[in-house]
């Protein structure tokens, strides 16, 4: 199936969710399906650019706001240039111009199992690290931007990713895009 987006405007889709919710997978699949750019510039991306490890970036971000601000500013700037899917923890809050906002969630055990399958390691350590990271992220976002990441009821779609495959989730998002007149089938 091929989809057509309006030629006269940029379409921006913001997708957020905590680590292990499938945010990156769904964002990538949606961008490929629609033939638009995927923007997923995160702490992980910053770690790769700087040569620091993800835990080091997270630790430094506790006392240095420049890490958050660099990631958040950069991804919004990138998203404003083109039709895209912006997948990040804060996309639905930061990309105010998004045409469609999607929040993905899954329970802690599902998220930890996905991270374990992706990265390996110890499942107990992943659960502990993920819980710590969620708490620290939420606290930082509140302090930096006055964003309450537990409040996402304003989103167009809120999807429990434990109940659907990534393909089914993308199908739900495309259905909503069609309902809003933001895409059609060729």
- Per-residue pLDDT, 178: 96
Residue 140 above 90 pLDDT? no
Per residue in 115-137, pLDDT (tens digit) is 998 888 888 999 999 999 899 88
Of 54-63, 91-100, 146-155, the one with minimum mean pLDDT is: 54-63
- Per-residue pLDDT, 41: 85
Q: What is the value of pTM for the model shown?
A: 0.89
Residue 58 above 90 pLDDT? no
- Per-residue pLDDT, 43: 85
Query: Which of 157, 164, 154, 152 has its CA nearest to residue 180?
Result: 157
The Cα 103–Cα 48 span in angstroms is: 26
- Per-residue pLDDT, 44: 86
Per residue in 157-169, pLDDT (tens digit) is 999 999 999 999 9
Q: Strands, E, within 40-154: which ranges?
A: 84-87, 100-105
74 neighbors 129 (Cβ within 8 angstroms): no
Radius of gyration of the chain (CA): 16
């Amino acid at each position: 199936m091929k989809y057509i987006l309006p030629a006269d405007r940029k379409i921006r889709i913001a997708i957020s969710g905590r680590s292990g919710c499938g945010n990156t997978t769904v964002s990538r699949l949606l961008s490929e399906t629609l033939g638009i750019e995927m923007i997923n510039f995160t702490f992980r991306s910053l770690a790769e650019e700087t040569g620091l490890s993800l835990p080091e970036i997270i630790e430094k971000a506790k006392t240095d706001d420049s890490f958050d601000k660099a990631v958040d500013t950069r991804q919004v700037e990138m998203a404003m240039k083109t039709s895209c899917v912006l997948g990040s923890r804060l996309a639905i809050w930061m990309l105010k111009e998004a045409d469609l906002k999607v929040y993905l969630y899954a329970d802690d055990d599902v998220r930890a199992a996905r991270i374990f399958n992706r990265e390996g390691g110890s499942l107990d350590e992943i659960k502990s690290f993920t819980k710590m990271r969620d708490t620290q992220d939420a606290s930082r976002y509140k302090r930096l931007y006055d964003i309450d990441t537990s409040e996402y009821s304003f989103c167009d779609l809120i999807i429990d990713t434990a109940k659907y495959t990534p393909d089914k989730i993308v199908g739900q998002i495309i259905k909503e895009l069609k309902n809003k007149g933001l895409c059609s089938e060729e």
